[in-house]
Amino acid sequence: MFSMADFTDNKLAVGSIIAFLFGSLIKVLDYLFRRKSHSDDLATQLRSELHTEVRELSADNDLLEAELDIWKQKYWDQMAQLTESRIQLGLLLPKEPIDVSPEPMTEIPPPEFFD
């Protein structure tokens, strides 16, 4: 029924199938590890870009804060000048209030007054 040649051929076929399956498994594992490595590289690259952007924004923020400090100082200088001006104006005004309301009319003016 079966000869030694048949057994050797089957053994060779089984060995070939096992080698093919093992090689395929290695290829699949290699693909999965490379994909993970590629995604790690991509994540590292994105992280690096974000760190660079954060440093640039931090530098811009420092410049804006310095400019804000300058404008705050200008504001307080103007407020001090305004306060000084109000004090000087208060010294120039008379101490007693001036009545600027019109006096009530007690008599009717003559018609020539309206011409």
Inter-residue long-range contacts of 14-21, CB under 8 Å, 24+ positions, other chains counted: none
**CA pair distance 80, 39, nearest whole angstrom:** 60
Angle of CA points 109, 110, 114, to nearest 5°: 85
Q: Answer yes or no: is pLDDT of 98 > 80.
A: no
More confident: 101 or 88? 88
Angle of CA points 45, 30, 41, to nearest 5°: 5
Global pTM reads 0.44
Helices vs. strands in the chain: H and E counts, helices first = 1, 0
**CA pair distance 16, 4, nearest whole angstrom:** 18
For 28-45, what is the mean pLDDT?
78
